[in-house]
C-alpha cells in the first residue's frame, strides 16, 4: 500500500473585526477636518506645536493646550514618488507622498501632493490643502483631497 501524497498547503483564512478608538486628542483634530479646519495644539511645557496633536506631549508628558486653527499652508519637508502599485492606492502611480510642515506647526503631516509633475516637486515647495466638497467632508484626513503648490508657476 503506498502512502498518500503529502499535504503541502492548507487554506486557513482568518477574519478579525475590530473597533478603532481614535482617542480624545485625535478626535479634536478629526472633527476640525470635518469643518475644513486644521487644528493644532501647543505644549505648555516645551512650546512644541503639534498638528495633529495627541492629548499629551510625548516629550513632557503633560497635557497639551487648547486647539487653535492653522492657516493650512506649509512646505514640503521631504517626499517620495510612489512609482509602483500597492494595496490601497487611490491614484495611479507615479504620485507624490510628502511630509508637509504646516506653517505654525512643529510636527509634519503626511499627505499627497498633486497638481504638479512629480519631477517638479522639491524640498521646500510651498503647498496648500485642497479640500473635498461638502458631500465628502468627514472626520478624516480624506477631507483634504491632497496638497498642491501655492504658486501655479511651481506646478
CB of 121 to another protein, least distance (A): 10
Q: Which is nearer to another protein, 48 or 155 (CB)?
A: 48
Strand partners, 101: 75, 108
CB of 123 to another protein, least distance (A): 7
CB of 107 to another protein, least distance (A): 5
By CB atoms closer than 10 A (0-12, 13-18, 19+), residue 126 is: middle
Nearest Cα to Cα of residue 111 among 75, 59, 85, 84: 75
Return residues touching another protein (CB under 8 A): 8-10, 12, 14-26, 30, 48-50, 54-61, 78-84, 86-90, 94, 97-99, 105-108, 110-112, 118, 123, 138-142, 144
Q: Which is nearer to another protein, 82 or 150 (CB)?
A: 82
Enclosing H/E stretch for 128: strand 126-131
Q: Which is nearer to another protein, 1 or 9 (CB)?
A: 9
Distance between first and last Cα of the chain:
74
Q: Which is nearer to another protein, 2 or 84 (CB)?
A: 84
Q: Return the residue matching grid coordinates 472633527.
A: 31
Amino acid at each position: 500500500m503506498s502512502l498518500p501524497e503529502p499535504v503541502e498547503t492548507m487554506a486557513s483564512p482568518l477574519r478579525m473585526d475590530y473597533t478603532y478608538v481614535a482617542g480624545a486628542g485625535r478626535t479634536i483634530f478629526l472633527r476640525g477636518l470635518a469643518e475644513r479646519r486644521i487644528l493644532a495644539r501647543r505644549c505648555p511645557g516645551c512650546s512644541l506645536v503639534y498638528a495633529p496633536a495627541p492629548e499629551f506631549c510625548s516629550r513632557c508628558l503633560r497635557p497639551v493646550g487648547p486647539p487653535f486653527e492653522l492657516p493650512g499652508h506649509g512646505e514640503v519637508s521631504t517626499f517620495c514618488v510612489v512609482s509602483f502599485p500597492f494595496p490601497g492606492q487611490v491614484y495611479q502611480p507615479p504620485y507624490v507622498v510628502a511630509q508637509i510642515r504646516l506653517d505654525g506647526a512643529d510636527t509634519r503631516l503626511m499627505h499627497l501632493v498633486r497638481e504638479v509633475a512629480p519631477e517638479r516637486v522639491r524640498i521646500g515647495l510651498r503647498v496648500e490643502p485642497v479640500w473635498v466638497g461638502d458631500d465628502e467632508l468627514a472626520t478624516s484626513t480624506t477631507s483634504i483631497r491632497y496638497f498642491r503648490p501655492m504658486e501655479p508657476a511651481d506646478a
